[in-house]
A and B are shown apart, each in its own frame.
Chain A
Amino acid sequence: MKKRYLYLLLLPGLLFLTIFMIIPILLTIGTTFFTENGFSIQGYLDFFKDRYFIEILLTTLRVSLFTTIICILLGFPAAYYISKLKQRKKAIMLLLTIFPLLTSPVVRSFSWMVIIGKNGVVNKMLMGMGLIEQPLDILYTPTAIIIGLVHLFLPLIIVTLVGVMENIETDLLKAAESLGASRLAVFSKVIIPLSVPGLVIGSILVFVGSFTAYTTPALLGGKQRVISTFLYQNAITLNEWQVASIVATIMIAVTVLIISIMNGLAKKLNPKG
């Protein structure tokens, strides 16, 4: 087949995405700018004046940010360890890593309820040891959402990082050592900078995933709203489709903004990565 006809292979997928994703999204965005009185951005202005909504947006951003940071801190060393293993062991460890992804978020959230609830395992243990008098309020707080999201997204960042770290030539590490670098220096001056591409992709996945996640915050957040549960509430419970569309558009805009910020950051950290 001639090379220039190869793009035809893209067509079925492209068609599907256009009909079922791109057009609906554009329509959704379109509706937010049109009211009975024609074009207006009043909907957005109202929104950003609303303390309640701003609060939800900031909470969601904060939760996503913390989730991403914790995932990086926990995932980076684990990924490095796995990337250094021999083929067989590596395969087993990667399988174990993605195991949580194979259970439903609903099931996982319910098990967290059992663990961090008022009468949950954690509180019982801490009280049993006499460390606290009253049970801690973890469930139905942003902390609970973060715990659930870290659990959900840690595998993702580990797998992404392992992919990048595997491809760091061991000769580079040896070269650094022979030039006088201690283990720590090798890690900070070679391994971390060369992992930046994986770190960026992983962070984007985790951040965007956390920002848009629904099930976990819905179950572990209780009355604590995040942007996705807020959207759901407006659309399904309150039947406020105009509001829901505006929320959706804001979510898309924030997501795009985050991705471009992270890409910019990556370029700075690793100019030729």
Chain B
Amino acid sequence: MIPAPFDYVAPSTVDEAVRALADAGEDAKVLAGGQSLLPVLRMRLAAPTTVVDLGKIGELKGVRDEGDAVVIGAMTTHYDVQRDPLVHDHALLLARATDTVADPQVRHRGTFGGSLAHADPAGDLLAPALALDAEMVVQGTGGRRTVSAAEFFQDFFTTSLAPEDILVEVRVPKHTGWSAHYEKFNRVAQAWSMVAVAATVRAEGGTIAEARIGLTNMASIPVRATAVEQALVGRSADAETIRAAAEHAAEGTSPTVDGNADVEYRQHLAKVLTGRAVESAMAG
């Protein structure tokens, strides 16, 4: 459980980091909070020749207000996301989901950007990012570009990031005043999700004006439950409507099988948990 030897660089700007990655070639790895990368290195499932630590790059940390969006630096820790007032006011769903990640130690080191870049389908922040139509700001050798969440996640542990790309920040469009709930189902408290549902809704009176639902671990990438959203919008938020809408939750999903759940059970859970997530979100 000792990683294979590697060179270590800790640049202080994003530009330097991109250059360091480009110089090191295919076998370089970015280190953020290390909460996913270090186990991989220690189990020698990966053996990069160079590790580029983003920990010293101040511009990657923190949350700022940019008019119609909240912008979260990739190196902002889960702990800081959980407590950030901008996130609370304009992207409550993300705060709620972050509350459920791991344990306090992990939340103090793990980062929002690291979670998205790692792209574990069982990770809890992918579905909220998708549901909130987040955009990833990526910097590579060719400069900066913006990638939508829908394009960003490509497969198990795979994103559209090229080897020399760095995820710089995430722009989350404001969902001011939306209520939200993240319904996570796991076996022990500090574990990853077997299935989870990210739901955020905007109500007008007793009616659901808008709804965004994302599913965690129901495919190799996060899934948007659009059929559920459509079945909710414009309806009154009564138990029967929610239950009927939640019945659509498994549509278009292709979950994996593991010792905790097979496909049938995961799809069943997705429906039950979607109902509960929407109910809890409506309840505030």
Query: Does B bind A?
Result: no
Q: Which residues of A contact B (CB under 8 A)?
A: none
List chain B positions with a Cβ less than 8 A from chain A: none
